[in-house]
Every structure is written in structure tokens, then in C-alpha cells.
Structure 1
Amino acid sequence: MPDPAVERRTRKRQMTRQAISDVATRLFFERGFDGVTIDEIAQAADVGRMTVFNHFPRKEDLFFDREDAIRDAALTALRARDRATSPIQALRALAHRLIDTPDPTFPLFDGTCRFVQTALASEALKARARQMRDEFVQLLAAALVEDAAAPKDDPDAHLAAGLIAAAWTVAFMEAHKLFAEKDDLDAANRRFLALIDKGMAGVEAALAGSAYAGAA
């Protein structure tokens, strides 16, 4: 049976983390990522400097605070898929679910313009985004290897992971660009899914005959 005291501490920690994140996001949007210090975030959130670092080891983590949720969604889609569905098809289906049933915790386009603009204006954030993409590719490759019971250094798994990450990145950025220009969410969604579909078709063609393109 869950311990009520532990649950209270967990809720309090989650609330503190969210409050710090909300304050940091507001300041980053107002003044740019590089124009805000950790001390200013701590003061605005009414917490100590070390409390901020206890929740967010790096300043960049305050900005990309939803990265874990996005990564987990991809890995869950892979692991929980119907075994008649290939890993590549499962990640294509995830993109369609995110459009058909938007998740309020990480909207794809509506409400993300300031986020993307702030990220593109900071060399530190662009560098961290590249690092996170590389880390995700490694995690996805490991998950693909585990799923297929393949050798850890299977080059096909690393190729699949890299191509999937590239397809998602291009689809998101192109759809965001269209939304920023036209303020048309439906058009952005259509562009995102069209590029996802093309990208995943390309990945399946490149990996034809492998465990990653065929059904289990």
C-alpha cells in the first residue's frame, strides 16, 4: 500500500519542479535564454539556487524540460506495439496519434513558435538540441537492438535510428516553419504527417529485409 507521506513528498517535489520550469520558461521567452541566469530563475521562483540544480542539473534542462516525455513516448510506442507492426511503422503511427489526439504536455505546433524561436536564437540551446538528438539516436538504436535480439553493434539498428530521428526533425521544423508563416494549424499538421510518411517510407526502403522494417 502506498505510503501517504511519500506520496505527499513526491507531489510537492513535482509541484516545485513545475513551478521552477514555468518561471524559467517565462523568463526565457521574455529575455532570451542567454539573458537569464540561474540566480534570477531561483529568485523569481522563490527557491534556492541549489533547489533549481536539484531538479535541473543544467540550465539547458530548464528549457528542454519535456524531452524525457517525448523520448519515453517514442520508446513506449516501439515496445508496446502490436507484433504484426514493424518498429518503423510503430513510430510512424505515433506521429499520426500525436496529430489525431494532441497531447497537451507537448503540443507540436500551436503554442510552440516562441519555444522554437528562443531555441534558434541561442547557440547553447542549439548545441544542446544536437546533443539530445544524438543521445536519442543511441537510445533508439539500443531499443531496436533489444527488440530484435540483434547484436549490440548492429549497423542496421544505428542506421534506422539515425534516419528515423532525421525524418522527425525535418518534419517538425518544416511544419513549424509553415505554421509560423501562415498561422494555419491544419496545414502544419498535414505537412508534418506528409513528411513523416515520406521519411518513414524511405527508412523502410533503406532497411528492407532487416528486423526493423519487417513485422516481428
Structure 2
Amino acid sequence: MSTDAGGINPSQAHEEITQSRHERRRRETRERIANTALALFGERGYDAVTIAEIAEAADVAKQTVVNHFPAKEDLLLAWHRPVEADLIDMIDQLPLSTPLPEFLKEELPRMFAGLSEVPEAPDREDPRTAVDERFAGVGAIIQNSPALLDALRLRGSRYQDDLAAILSDRVPAHLGPVAARATAAFILTTVTAMINEAARLRSEGRTPEQIIATLTDTVGRALDILDGGIGGIGETAAPSE
């Protein structure tokens, strides 16, 4: 097979261009579906909108929606990535030499200070304004849907499984998988408590800096339990057989 003067295979170049176009169209389709779903959820509520209606409004086949978003809640999570998912990814990439409680004490307050902030005075001429305004309503859509709240709770149990698997290398091996799962549950419960506390502080008009200061103190005291617990059990000798 011949190549041009620059050493590029024309067939390969054509294939790369074709793949690039295909990927671009795929992203555009996914974005159109997500935009359409969010608009419909905002107008009628999450529970009242079906996948078929989203497909019709987005001018795609129902199967196309399912291919991009296998579960209905995925349509909303395209706009609202749970903080638990971000935290699990961060812990997964954390070197084993980094103490987990210290990392959480430092990182969690920063994560929650800006959580669910509503854009201020959006520029009406900015084409991103409509997206920003709809994004600001995601929280309300979630809170007004019992079905979505149930789906997110179920997803939360999967997060606990994922985090427990990651923590298995951090918890003393002789304690087994139950200790790793218990530690994962403690961390995720702390995250939920911090989400609620951050929302309360924000509703009182606290600034991000004030929220960080309050949450730093709050999570520090909560994670002292985790630190002391892991440190204590880590020094306990394995039971003799």
C-alpha cells in the first residue's frame, strides 16, 4: 500500500478523519439528548417524562437514547456528576503512602464549598446562558422526584461497593472485607452529612470561604474517628489461628 510524500497512508488518514467525524456526531447527539431531557424534566418533572418522549423531542430513535444513557437517571447525571463519584476517583488515584484521613480533611471542604452554586447574573447574550440556567435547576428536579431519589440511593450502594474495593489495600488485611466496607460506609456517610451542612450554610448566605472554614472544622472532628479507628485497628495484632 502506497503512502504520500510525508509518509502518511492515505487509507489510514481517511479512516482517522471518518472516525473523527463519527465521534463528533456521537458527541453532538449525546449532547442534544441530554439538553432535551433536562428541558423536559424542568418543564414536567422527571417522573412524568418517558424515554420515548425524550427520543421524539430530540429527533432520535428510542434505542439511540438508551445507547447513550442506559438508565434514565443517567440523563440527569450527565448534568450532575455526584460528588461521591469524584471522591472515589480521587481516592483510587491516591498513593498508598498518603494518609487517607489527612487527605480527606484537606480535600473535602474544598469540594463542598462550591457545590451546587447557582450562576450569578448570567450574560443574556452568552450562548451558554440557557445551559447554565437549566443546570441551576438540576437540584430541584432531583428533590422533586421520588423515583430519581430512589435511583440515586441505589447508585449510592454501588459507590460503597466501589470504594470498599479500593480501600481493601488501605485497611489491614487481617480484618477482611467487612472492615473495608465499614470504612467506605463511614466515609460516604460523612460526605452526605457534609453535603447537607454545606447546603445549610449556603442557604444562610455564607461565602465559600466561610463554608470552607466551617466544614474544615466539622470534617476534621468527624474524620478523627476514622483516623483513630484505622490507626487503632492497624496496630492490633492479627488474631492467632
Name stretches of at least 5 consecutive residues in structure 2 with no aligned partner: 1-11, 119-134, 235-241
What's the counterpart of residue 25 of structure 2?
A: 12
**Of 164-173 and 6-15, the range deviating more from structure 2:** 6-15
Does the C-alpha gap of structure 1 residues 151 and 72 become closer, same or farther in structure 2, counting only changes over 3 Å? farther
What's the counterpart of residue 121 of structure 1?
A: 144
**Of 163-172 and 150-159, the range deviating more from structure 2:** 150-159
> In terms of Rg, which structure is larger?
2
Does the C-alpha gap of structure 1 residues 199 and 58 become closer, same or farther in structure 2, counting only changes over 3 Å? same
Query: What SS class does the counterpart of residue 91 from structure 2 fall into?
Result: helix
What's the counterpart of residue 35 of structure 1?
A: 48
Does the C-alpha gap of structure 1 residues 11 and 190 become closer, same or farther in structure 2, counting only changes over 3 Å? farther
Name stretches of at least 5 consecutive residues in structure 1 with no aligned partner: 101-106, 212-216
Task: State the Cα RMSD in Å.
Answer: 3.1
Does the C-alpha gap of structure 1 residues 99 and 60 become closer, same or farther in structure 2, counting only changes over 3 Å? closer
Instruction: Give the Cα separation in 2 of the matches to 1:79 and 1:86.
Output: 13
Counting only pairs closer than 5 Å after superposition, residues 27-176 of structure 1 correspond to structure 2 as: 27-65=40-78, 70=83, 73-98=86-111, 108-111=115-118, 114-146=137-169, 150=173, 153-176=176-199
> Once the 2 structures are TM-superposed, how far is the Cα of residue 210 of structure 1 from its aligned partner?
4.6
> Once the 2 structures are TM-superposed, how far is the Cα of residue 142 of structure 1 from its aligned partner?
0.3
**Of 184-193 and 136-145, the range deviating more from structure 2:** 184-193
Q: TM-score, normalised by structure 1?
A: 0.77
> Once the 2 structures are TM-superposed, how far is the Cα of residue 19 of structure 1 from its aligned partner?
2.3
CA contact (8 A) 1:174 1:191 kept: no
Aligned residues: 204
> What is the percent sequence identity of the aligned residues?
26
Q: Deviations over 1:172-208 (max 9, x none)?
A: 12212332x3344424444444433333222222322
Q: TM-score, normalised by structure 2?
A: 0.70
